[in-house]
Amino acid sequence: MSLAVLLDQNVPPQVVAWLRSRRPAWLVWHVNEVGLKGATDDTIFRWAQAKGAIVITFDEDFADTRMYPVGSHAGVIRLRVWPTTIEQTEAALERLLEFAEEGDFVASLVIVDDQRIRIRRAARHG
């Protein structure tokens, strides 16, 4: 499966190369690469939706289901690890890649913390 992924400005830009090496079939961008450095969450979110990209972020606002309801977007992966270093970020994403199928990320809210991974999927209708 080929996913599109946008790393938010709070994710170390060096993680892009690591993720591209782990998942070469994915389209992986960092906001800095696509002219969104310093952009608002809403602008970043709209860009990601236009590209069908899953947002990977440390920003808790993207996990607010009142602002970004599950199923209304391509997907959000919210990292809740500390410190927010390159190593901790890559370790959290590595756990996620080992734990979940790529399809689990689509249109879902995924929360990765030091202890567990939670996936909230959109309600299925019909």
Q: Give the three-class secondary structure for 33.
A: helix
Torsional sign, CA 84, 14, 118, 55: positive
Q: How do 117-120 and 109-113 pair as beta strands? A: antiparallel
pLDDT for 123 equals 74
**Structural domain count, the chain:** 1
So what's the pLDDT on residue 25? 96
The arrangement of strands across the sheet holding 53-57 comes to 27-30, 4-7, 53-57, 76-80, 109-113, 117-120
pLDDT of residue 126: 47
Task: List the pLDDT tens digit at each of the 126 positions of the chain.
Answer: 689 999 999 999 999 999 999 999 999 999 999 999 999 999 999 999 999 999 999 999 999 999 999 999 999 999 999 999 999 999 999 999 999 999 999 999 999 999 999 999 987 654
pLDDT of residue 64: 95
Say whether 89 sits in a helix, a strand or coil: helix
The answer to the question of residue 74 being in a domain is yes
55 assigned to some structural domain: yes
The pTM of the full predicted model, rounded to 2 decimals, is 0.95
pLDDT at 2: 87
Residue 107 is assigned to a structural domain of this protein: yes
Q: What is the span of the domain harbouring residue 68?
A: 4-120
The reply to whether 125 falls in a domain is no
Q: Which residues of 20-34 are buried (b: 16+ CB within 10 A; e: fewer)?
A: eeebeebebbbbeee
Number of other CB atoms surrounding residue 57 within 10 Å: 23
pLDDT at 124: 63
Q: Does residue 126 fall inside a structural domain?
A: no
